[in-house]
Structure 1
């Protein structure tokens, strides 16, 4: 379904939808906003009102006056000098998300670019002709948008239908001429926080799916380990005030309803280990962090993040050259989300370790058939431990990195875009950890010594996995199974849990029980997925 940018800003879900391939349409109100802002810039130029990046240089050159005759050169040269990204290019989803967020920002009507500039970005999106954007090299936002904007003027490169072509060739194939940028347009094209807001929307989309899978996979491990279901009791959980905790408790009770395995385990222990009994607390805390992050991202998308901002009327134009392009709040939010997801994954690895450890699991050592000649999931747990360690490194806060640029003019840096890239890497690694735990939980069901039925929901998940993958007997490379499980977790949501639902505020409501569709996912990694810092599939 097409996403339309109206008078109202897009939210993170809309950005994520465009990232996934939905068309983005500029509504009449948005177009009017853009045109009105351009009139203000033209008046600023005509009256020689001093405005940063319009008739002055940028950065530490902000006090150097630029004549009207030089303003085209200033805009054009900004793109050339700011396109300094390095490393592997972002994936298609990431690039589309950034472009959608940029269009959303221009549509506020306070940037001052011409409508045809915004329409050029929209045309590239519509054709899925995506600029090649190196992932690294930004302390805030400049280099990513510069590489995107290069294509608008016939420079740079694009990825289109699996082919890498120059920006000039791409425009020619689309029947478009390179744009000749006018006053302020070069600065507006590289400015603001579209990079981090676009990437953050994508991170929220992937994190939401991950958190749903984390509850499901944790329930399977809980059942295999004979957990004490009292840990999820409504009255007990109600003593801690947390919408996320209450929601996870609801989901776990639904997932494990009707488990004969858990009935046998009732009263066997006073309490379970922390990685087993604190699932609602850790997953719930992550969901509360998710909700807070989503609020910050939506506020950022509703904000004007250009510098300078143009406002007022054609008769009395105003210029605000301050600091709205600095993304401190969203940098902190991305750091928080990365830490929350890393903690969920770290606890998943601890449950995985309990599944493979015969000293605590009551299952064959390392979930291996014919233990001794077969290692089962012994080394898969090593991989999960390695990914947890990598997440720990990635979760170090980017927002504290600091630094000084532009001859002391920019002497405080928030590293918002790197924070979002790190969050995406943590989510990707965590999906792999959950995929390994999912495989181990399915294997544990195969080796259960207790002759008792699984819960209907966990049994359906198990059956869906086994419809594609047979029990593991050291008879094939386990990495292939891990790839399947990773794609399963990363590419789609789990079947809905009967009786539970949640709106965007985290409120739990009751729904009729839903029939669970089978899980069917390709083992092939989609070409659009490329997250710097994450481990390859």
Structure 2
């Protein structure tokens, strides 16, 4: 079979292991709707979403507001109206923003303030975010409003949900945020008939999109301009996607590393359960169990028993490195879920209609999630860096015991020689990207905002590192499959690694320098990105 960059439609959802407590079957409980099991998956926003719910919405599920969420949103709006009526001083409601926080804004100017905030904060540059990234941010923003402390009108939130349902996704430039402002400003522009949206057919004006939806542009009321740009929806939305992709990547990393370990005749004692139990790490224990299952009944491993005292670190420390990354993943997931459960607006409204309260604080600053994204980036980059070391061992005849560079034939074929260069380049790029965004600092708004956490940039570069890591693993997968083709015929693969090998060979044939290898790498990336690693 010839290699192909077009794979069959995968049989599993790209975002897997979704928490059933937030989708489909529970809609009748929290949203008062009955749905058949065949209905399009939906996420009901009653209690705060978790990262899996946000990722599900990002990838196409419907977002449905529960009655209690609607009630909380309405109550918070009523509090804002009381604050305006009683002229209780509140940042961004009846004052300017940033360094203008002490400038009082009259009731007649509050609509203009809200609109002007959107205009002045829409400063993004660069290529637009991908569709699923913008959907994730919108889902996280709706989640934040549904806490009932922001004070936007229900009709504003419903219009955001309508955009998700319609597939008319705001065009949001990727760069320009030191924390959270510009991305949400570009999303909110669409609500007032400004900016642009994209759908499956291309680009259109926001005004045209609202006409298609038979909706009038909103006129923003007091506080709404600030609320729609504030908080941490940008980083929590992007972080939820990063977690979903990392979860899949780590499963593939275990699977592909097992294939390389088998090809390189590793000593299975490195994965002994009693030995690994001496180091306390949930991730290490899990990876060790995965590797033992993957390599069970391997004829290649059995034939290699006792031939070496111990393997190089890129082989025998797979449980330790992958396990450490899984532990970081678990911690990051906890941080993101805490962030989604938190109120991250500024100011926050609370209390009763008789006694409304305003808290002007720094809850919109995403220090904890920025640090978590930096940590996840480093963990993924390390997993990918070790994968590149295994690729090098597979192609190096001095250590692999296989033909040089896994090439077919003599010196006329280069095989995977230069593919290893590509992996090394991506590892180096990840190393540059993994520098912590949290330490970048900076001073903005006339010294009023004199410490910056760069949480959203941390999430954006985490997504880039994950994409590079997927490509590195794709190259390792190709090299491992090629190495199997070159093993002696009388040595059998483990049943589980054999199943992966056969799945790869169903779409990508053995490489013989007979086509550009870039096409194989693209096809292998698609396989890693979409297919089921077997767990």
TM, length-normalised to structure 2: 0.92
Question: Deviations along 1:329-348, whole A, 9 cap, x unmatched?
Answer: 00000000000000000000
Q: Measure how far apart 1:128 and its partner are.
A: 1.1
Instruction: Please give the secondary structure, in 1, of the residue aligned with 2:228.
Output: helix
- 5 Å matches for 1:242-281? 242-281=281-320
Structure 1: distance between partners of 2:236 and 2:516: 39
Instruction: Please give the secondary structure, in 2, of the residue aligned with 1:88.
Output: strand
- Find the partner of 2:506 among 467, 472, 480: 467
Structure 1: distance between partners of 2:527 and 2:208: 37
The aligned residue for residue 510 of structure 1 is none
- 5 Å matches for 1:488-503? 488-496=527-535
1:234 aligns with 2:234: no
The aligned residue for residue 43 of structure 2 is 3
1:50 aligns with 2:89: yes
Structure 1: distance between partners of 2:331 and 2:248: 17
- 5 Å matches for 1:341-356? 341-356=380-395
The aligned residue for residue 527 of structure 1 is none
- 5 Å matches for 1:34-49? 34-49=73-88
Structure 2: distance between partners of 1:130 and 1:54: 28
The aligned residue for residue 181 of structure 1 is 220
The aligned residue for residue 147 of structure 2 is 108
Structure 2: distance between partners of 1:209 and 1:468: 20
Contact conserved, 1:311 with 1:317, CA < 8 A, in 2?
yes
Structure 2: distance between partners of 1:373 and 1:428: 33
1:368 aligns with 2:388: no
Contact conserved, 1:140 with 1:326, CA < 8 A, in 2?
yes
Change in 2 beyond 3 A, CA 1:318/1:492: farther
Q: Measure how far apart 1:450 and its partner are.
A: 6.2
Structure 2: distance between partners of 1:279 and 1:68: 63
1:202 aligns with 2:262: no
Contact conserved, 1:209 with 1:492, CA < 8 A, in 2?
no
Contact conserved, 1:363 with 1:449, CA < 8 A, in 2?
no
Instruction: Please give the secondary structure, in 1, of the residue aligned with 2:453.
Output: coil
TM, length-normalised to structure 1: 0.92
Instruction: Please give the secondary structure, in 1, of the residue aligned with 2:94.
Output: coil
1:420 aligns with 2:449: no
Structure 2: distance between partners of 1:17 and 1:104: 14
1:151 aligns with 2:198: no
Contact conserved, 1:255 with 1:455, CA < 8 A, in 2?
yes
Q: CA RMSD in A?
A: 0.6
Contact conserved, 1:212 with 1:493, CA < 8 A, in 2?
no
Structure 2: distance between partners of 1:123 and 1:390: 39
- Find the partner of 1:302 among 332, 335, 341: 341
1:19 aligns with 2:52: no
Instruction: Please give the secondary structure, in 1, of the residue aligned with 2:203.
Output: strand
Contact conserved, 1:261 with 1:450, CA < 8 A, in 2?
no
Structure 1: distance between partners of 2:116 and 2:410: 66
Structure 2: distance between partners of 1:326 and 1:443: 49
Instruction: Please give the secondary structure, in 2, of the residue aligned with 1:488.
Output: helix
Structure 2: distance between partners of 1:45 and 1:300: 29
Structure 2: distance between partners of 1:153 and 1:138: 21
1:212 aligns with 2:212: no
Contact conserved, 1:60 with 1:407, CA < 8 A, in 2?
yes
Question: Deviations along 1:482-536, whole A, 9 cap, x unmatched?
Answer: 000111112243122xxxxxxxxxxxxxxxxxxxxxxxxxxxxxxxxxxxxxxxx
The aligned residue for residue 162 of structure 1 is 201
The aligned residue for residue 365 of structure 2 is 326
Q: Measure how far apart 1:449 and its partner are.
A: 3.4
Structure 2: distance between partners of 1:190 and 1:495: 41
1:404 aligns with 2:443: yes
| Aligned positions, number | 495
The aligned residue for residue 84 of structure 1 is 123
1:476 aligns with 2:521: no
Q: Measure how far apart 1:161 and its partner are.
A: 2.0
Gaps of 5+ in 1: 497-537
The aligned residue for residue 500 of structure 1 is none
Structure 2: distance between partners of 1:277 and 1:434: 18
The aligned residue for residue 313 of structure 1 is 352
Q: Measure how far apart 1:451 and its partner are.
A: 2.3
Q: Measure how far apart 1:196 and its partner are.
A: 0.1
Question: Deviations along 1:402-461, whole A, 9 cap, x unmatched?
Answer: 000000000000000000001000000000000000000000000113621000000010
Contact conserved, 1:428 with 1:490, CA < 8 A, in 2?
no
Q: Measure how far apart 1:470 and its partner are.
A: 1.3
Instruction: Please give the secondary structure, in 2, of the residue aligned with 1:190.
Output: coil
1:95 aligns with 2:108: no
Structure 2: distance between partners of 1:394 and 1:479: 23
The aligned residue for residue 221 of structure 1 is 260
